[in-house]
Structure formats: structure tokens, C-alpha cells
Chain A
Amino acid sequence: MQPILEVNDLKKHYPVKTGLFGRVTGAAKSLDGVSFAIEKGETFAIVGESGSGKTTLGKTVLRLIEPTSGGILFEGSDITELGKEAMRRLKTDMQMVFQDPFGSLDPKWTVRRILEEPLRTHYKLAPAELVAKVNDILEVVGLTAKHASRYPHELSGGQRQRVGIARALILEPKFIVFDEPVSALDVSIQAQILTLLEDLQSRLSLTYLFISHDLSVVRYISTHVGVMYLGKMMEIGPSEELFTNPLHPYTQALISAIPEPDPDNRRERIVLSGEVPSPRKPPSGCVFHTRCPHAMPQCGSVEPEWLKVSENRYTACHLYQKS
């Protein structure tokens, strides 16, 4: 089966300028050769810490940020070459939901206007149709028509995120990128939104790219996971397998660092020393070698290849290199 989204060797390098005249002296590699594929109906999660490039990846996939190089195939055709108009039309299929619903909703607009806007840009609908569509979508995300006349500041965080989801859904897309959609919400509200996303996915047969730093949330929502560190993919696999048997030492450390809500499970952790290096000066060889508990001599000089370790399991680590 053809994947709905295929990303090949995607790179986004930002020039690093120094000195008075802003001479370009290097590149910050926000994304450095990322590849993965998502099948229809899957939830592919990208996990990573600050500076891993996960948000850049989400935006680049929708070309909200232009890639430096690499391919993005949506339903088999490369969208990196598409012109403005074709890209605009593609927005009816590909949408994004952001972390901070307040920052992404115009404070001067009512909920109704916010939700009508994408319809007005893409279709010519009669006023009655607009009203009906907005009322329908509000119900789909668990709000009611009475919320339509409110302004964003009159809504709670959870309700605002529902509006953000409604805005993404109103064009009936096939594919949605979520960037930390529940990180700003309280636990009880987070659960409401996560179960809503699950229901929407099965009802509307949606495909999700789900970006998050929270591995418990990711384990709950995702079918597949990609682990990123400093602009590179460290490991990819089906989520249950990846979480029970992580291959890459970075994935192992990430999983070990999660505090679990079970006082009988206070275990010994792999506590990584040091901090994430700057993407302006990523370490040579394997980018993780400066913090890796298993670092070997070659790790500092030779970049590990992307290896298929078993069916569906991929990682970039010298530990799995066949000699």
C-alpha cells in the first residue's frame, strides 16, 4: 500500500551569521536527513526534547517552513515543487493544530468567524451553508452552537483547543499535524482532548502526525513513533514494540526518565549527564555520543547508518551495525 505521507532525506538548515556584516559562517541543522513514511489511518508520533527539530519537522512537512532539500510525498506526489496556488488547494487535505490555541486564534474574531474563515478562502458557500457547517463542526468537537458567538478569551483552555481542532477539521482534511496539542492543558482536560482525537480519527478516517515531548501521551495515542535528537531521527518503530524494547540508547534514556504515577515503581534510572548540545555545533559522528552511556571510539567520528534491525524497526546506532 502506498503511504499517505512519505518524507525522504528532509533537511532544513538555517544559515548562522556572525560579525558586523552577517557573513554566513555555518549552518544550524534543524533537520538533517530525516526520512519516514505514514500509512493511512496511522498516528505517527515524533518525540524529542527541546532542540530536537520536531516542531520544525511538523511545519516543514506542511511547507509552512520551506525545506532546504529532500522530498515530501503526499499521496504519492512530491509537494516540494508545488506552486502557491496548488499548495493552497492542498491545505484542504493537510492541516495543523498548534500547542497554544490562544496564540493561534485571532482574539478579535468570534469563534464563528474563526471557523468560517477557511471555508470562505476555499469555497463559495451561501450564508446558510456556512452557518450549518460551523454548527456541525462545533458539535463534532464537543461544543455547541452557543459557543459560536464567543471570543477566544471567553473560553477555557480546553474549549479553545477544541476550536483549534474544529478549525483544522472544517475543510475535511485527510491528514493533520498536531504540535504538542495537549501540553498546555490540565490532566483532566488533556484526557478529554486525547479521547476526542481518537474518536475523530476513527469516525473521519484521519491520519495524524503527532508531535509531543510527553512519552506517556505518545504511547497512548500513537501507532508508530519516531525519536528525534538534534535534527536527526534516532529510531523508528511501532509504538508498543518501541516502548517495550527500545533499541537506541537515547530512546532507552528517555523512557527511563519518565516519572511514573506508581509509587511501587520507583526504579533506578538511566540519568543522562549533560545537556542537549547546540544545533549550531552538533557533535561529530553520532550526535548523541557526548551523552551516550554506551559510546564507543568510532561513535565520535563515524556517523552511524540508518539500519533496519528487524521488521518495522529502524535505528541509527553503531551498537547494531553488523561488523
Chain B
Amino acid sequence: MTKLLEIDQLSIDFSSGSGPIRVVNGVQLELAAGETLGIVGESGSGKSVTSLSIMGLLPQGLAKVAEGDIRYRGQSLLNMSESEMQKVRGNQIATIFQEPMTALNPVFKIGRQVRESIRQHSKKSKREAHQDAVALLGEVGISAPEQIMEAYPHQLSGGMRQRVMIAMAMASNPDILIADEPTTALDVTIQAQILELMKKLQKERGTAIIFITHDLGVVAEMCDRVAVMYAGQIVEQGDIRTLFKEAKHPYTIGLLNSMPKFSGEMKRLKAIPGQVPHPSEYLPGCRFAQRCPSRMDLCESIEPALYDFGNQHLCKCHLYRGDTDAAHS
């Protein structure tokens, strides 16, 4: 079976005064139709850069894919021309970002922007597109769509703007929706509304979602599978239950322990000491070694392999070197 999306040993370099810096290293991910894949990580983990590369939106001249491939239904996205890529971006893969204000044009009314996003990938007349836009805004839970069509972006609240962005992203009925921290800037009651909406649309349309976030609570709520990124690499991935209940990588365990939980017994938080290293300071071995409570002698010098625990549960850590076969080294 051809996978919907495959990210194959992807590495991304940023250019700097002292030569290229590798910010994403050997990322291997698959996305099946209709599933929700979470990518979690802290600042500087490379999660957003990875998502931008799927869309072919890496800042030109600053960052480029150095190695690996990204395939959509078996076809390489990296070999496409800009015009081919534009078609994919409009039709099959759509994105929503954290701050919809920057993605919407402040000088045009909402109506015109939603209509244009519809007309970009269909041969509809202005009037048809207008009707579709109204219907679409209704579908994303905007109660007076005709009125909102006449509003400018700054007149809407953050939650409303995110609904408009989702409407525009869904206009082409994409196979894949990439959501990069879509609720991070919203209040918690509005976040709950947007998450419900995304679940509803996914159920109705069968869209696969890549959900990029730093919030493990949102991941647990939304995702079928999760990949945990640290310092430009995937350190662990697996289905949602396995990852939350049987996490193997010391970083994943550390993240779960450093999050205050809302229910259950109150335990003192176990913080991970230190901070995420800068890409120019990565050690040859495991990048988490300096902060790791289970560090061994070989960790700082030898890069750990990715060990396979079955059922797509992978973990990149020397602790498991005797237990199981390496999937990739």
C-alpha cells in the first residue's frame, strides 16, 4: 500500500556565517490516510521546520533540505517545480498556523479571502464561490457567516480568525491538514471549541492531520500517534497510549514528569535540568545526554540507534541496545 505521506531520512540545513548548521537530522515519519499524527517538542526541536519543509515553504536561501525525501502518495514533493508544488499546497495539503492574523491579509474583507481560496482550486464563478464560502464559514461554526464575510480580519477575535483559517484550509477538501500550534494563542475555552471543530471536520471528511504542538495535553486529546522531537531528531514515536503509558526515552519520560497534571495525586514536579542545546553545540553522541538522568559513558560519543519495540514504537536510546534489534542506525 502506498502511504499517504512519507518523510524519509529528512535532514534540513540552515545557512550561517560559519557554514551550514543541521537543524533537522534523519527524520523518518509516515502518515496514513485519516489519522492524526502529533509532533511534539520544545522550542528548537525542529518540529515547525519539518512541517514547513513538507509544504515546500522553507525560507529560501536560508534553509534547504540537505538529505532525504518527502513523498506524497509515492511521489516526491522535493522534485516538484514551484507551480506543481503550488497545486499540491492548494489542493491536497493545507496548513493552519498559530497566529491566523499573519496568514490573513489585513486589507481585504474575510469574504474576499475565503472566496479566493475557493476559486484558486476550482473553476467556480464569483457567485458560486460566495455561496460556498458562506456554507463553509457556517460549517466551521461561525453563526452569522454573511456578516463575517463583510468583516476585516482585525475585527474578529482570535478564535474567529482561527475558524476562518480552518474554513480556508478545508475549502479544497485536502487529504492532509498540517496544524502548527493552532490553539496555542487561544484561551482554554476557545481552544476546546477549535479542537472539537477539528475533530468534527476530520470525522466528516476523513482528513489526515499532522498536529504540531508543545502541549502534551492537546496531543493526548487529538492524536492517534505521536513523534517526540528533541534537538532536530525524533527520539521516540509510537501510538498515543504506548507513548503516554509506556514511554521509553528518558526525554519523553522527563517531559511527562515535568508537566503539572490536572487530575490525580499531586506529586512534586521533576524538572529536566539544563536546557536544549543550540544546533551548533550538538555532541557527536546523543543530543539529550547532557540532561539525561540515565546517561552512560558511551552516550556523549556514540549516536544511539533507533530501536524497534514493535507496533511502530521506536526509541532512539542506548538504554535499549541489548533488548531489541535496531530498526535504523
CA separation between A256 and B219, bound complex, in Å? 16
Asked if B208 is at the interface (CB within 8 A of a chain A CB), the reply is no
CA separation between A53 and B88, bound complex, in Å? 45
List residues of chain B with CB within 8 A of the CB of A273.
193
Partner of A265, one of B187, B263, B271, B273: B263
Closest to B40 in A: A187
Q: Which of A186, A219, A266 has the most CB of B within 10 A?
A: A186
List residues of chain B with CB within 8 A of the CB of A50.
187
Asked if A271 is at the interface (CB within 8 A of a chain B CB), the reply is yes
Identify which of residues 254-270 in chain B touch chain A, using a CB-to-CB cut-off of 8 Å: 254-263, 266, 268-270
Of A14-22, A82-90, A127-135, A188-196, the stretch lying at the interface with chain B is A188-196
The answer to whether A258 and B262 touch (CB under 8 A), given A188-B272, A192-B273, A271-B193, is yes
List residues of chain A with CB within 8 A of the CB of B214.
186-187
Contact between B42 and A188, CB atoms less than 8 A apart: yes
List residues of chain A with CB within 8 A of the CB of B241.
263-264
Partner of B268, one of A195, A243, A253: A195
List residues of chain A with CB within 8 A of the CB of B273.
192
The answer to whether A257 and B258 touch (CB under 8 A), given A213-B187, A263-B240, is no
List residues of chain A with CB within 8 A of the CB of B103.
none
CA separation between A123 and B255, bound complex, in Å? 43
CA separation between A42 and B159, bound complex, in Å? 35
Asked if B150 is at the interface (CB within 8 A of a chain A CB), the reply is no
CA separation between A49 and B191, bound complex, in Å? 11
Contact with B along A273-314 (1 / 0, CB 8 A): 101100000000000000000000000000000000000000
Contact between B275 and A259, CB atoms less than 8 A apart: no
Q: Closest CB-CB distance, A28 to chain B, in whole Å? A: 17
Contact between A261 and B259, CB atoms less than 8 A apart: yes
Q: Which of A187, A189, A219, A271 has the most CB of B within 10 A?
A: A187
Partner of A275, one of B43, B159, B268, B269: B159
Asked if B30 is at the interface (CB within 8 A of a chain A CB), the reply is no
How many residues does chain B have at the interface if contact means C-beta atoms less than 8 Å apart? 46
CA separation between A97 and B150, bound complex, in Å? 42
Contact between A257 and B217, CB atoms less than 8 A apart: no
Main secondary structure of the interface of A (DSSP, over half): helix
Q: Closest CB-CB distance, B97 to chain A, in whole Å? A: 18
The answer to whether A257 and B188 touch (CB under 8 A), given A219-B262, A266-B221, is yes
Contact with B along A41-60 (1 / 0, CB 8 A): 00000000110000000000
The answer to whether A49 and B187 touch (CB under 8 A), given A186-B43, A260-B220, is yes
Asked if A220 is at the interface (CB within 8 A of a chain B CB), the reply is yes
The answer to whether A261 and B188 touch (CB under 8 A), given A216-B262, A220-B269, A271-B196, is no
Asked if A269 is at the interface (CB within 8 A of a chain B CB), the reply is yes
Contact between A213 and B271, CB atoms less than 8 A apart: no
Asked if B66 is at the interface (CB within 8 A of a chain A CB), the reply is no
Contact with A along B204-247 (1 / 0, CB 8 A): 00000000001111111110000000000000000011001100
Asked if B157 is at the interface (CB within 8 A of a chain A CB), the reply is yes
Q: Closest CB-CB distance, A219 to chain B, in whole Å? A: 6
List residues of chain B with CB within 8 A of the CB of A156.
275
CA separation between A219 and B269, bound complex, in Å? 12
List residues of chain A with CB within 8 A of the CB of B311.
none
Contact between B220 and A187, CB atoms less than 8 A apart: no
Partner of B220, one of A49, A240, A262, A269: A262
List residues of chain B with CB within 8 A of the CB of A215.
188, 262
Contact between B42 and A275, CB atoms less than 8 A apart: no
List residues of chain A with CB within 8 A of the CB of B258.
187-188, 190-191
Asked if B160 is at the interface (CB within 8 A of a chain A CB), the reply is yes
List residues of chain A with CB within 8 A of the CB of B215.
259
Contact between A194 and B269, CB atoms less than 8 A apart: yes
Contact between B189 and A216, CB atoms less than 8 A apart: no
Contact between A189 and B256, CB atoms less than 8 A apart: no
CA separation between A198 and B260, bound complex, in Å? 13
Asked if B276 is at the interface (CB within 8 A of a chain A CB), the reply is yes
Asked if A158 is at the interface (CB within 8 A of a chain B CB), the reply is yes
Contact between A191 and B269, CB atoms less than 8 A apart: yes
Contact between A261 and B244, CB atoms less than 8 A apart: yes
Partner of A261, one of B187, B195, B256, B271: B256
List residues of chain B with CB within 8 A of the CB of A138.
none
List residues of chain A with CB within 8 A of the CB of B222.
259
Partner of A253, one of B189, B218, B276: B189
Contact between B262 and A269, CB atoms less than 8 A apart: no
Asked if B327 is at the interface (CB within 8 A of a chain A CB), the reply is no
CA separation between A272 and B256, bound complex, in Å? 28
List residues of chain B with CB within 8 A of the CB of A213.
187-188
List residues of chain B with CB within 8 A of the CB of A256.
192
List residues of chain B with CB within 8 A of the CB of A220.
260, 266, 269
Q: Closest CB-CB distance, B311 to chain A, in whole Å? A: 15
List residues of chain B with CB within 8 A of the CB of A257.
188-189, 191-192
Partner of A254, one of B189, B217, B219: B189
Partner of A259, one of B43, B217, B276: B217
List residues of chain B with CB within 8 A of the CB of A158.
275
Closest to B216 in A: A261
Contact between B272 and A191, CB atoms less than 8 A apart: yes
Identify which of residues 270-311 in chain B touch chain A, using a CB-to-CB cut-off of 8 Å: 270-273, 275-276
Q: Closest CB-CB distance, A215 to chain B, in whole Å? A: 6
The answer to whether A219 and B260 touch (CB under 8 A), given A156-B275, A192-B273, A195-B268, is yes
Can you list 9 residue pairs at the A/B interface with Cβ under 8 Å?
Answer: A49-B188, A157-B43, A192-B271, A213-B188, A240-B266, A261-B216, A261-B256, A261-B261, A272-B193
Given A50-B187, A220-B269, A253-B189, 4 more A-B residue pairs with CB atoms under 8 Å apart are A187-B259, A198-B268, A254-B189, A261-B261
3 shortest interchain CB distances as A-B pairs: A191-B258, A259-B217, A191-B271
Residues of A within 8 A of B (CB): 49-50, 156-159, 186-192, 194-195, 198, 213, 215-217, 219-221, 240, 243, 253-266, 269, 271-273, 275-276
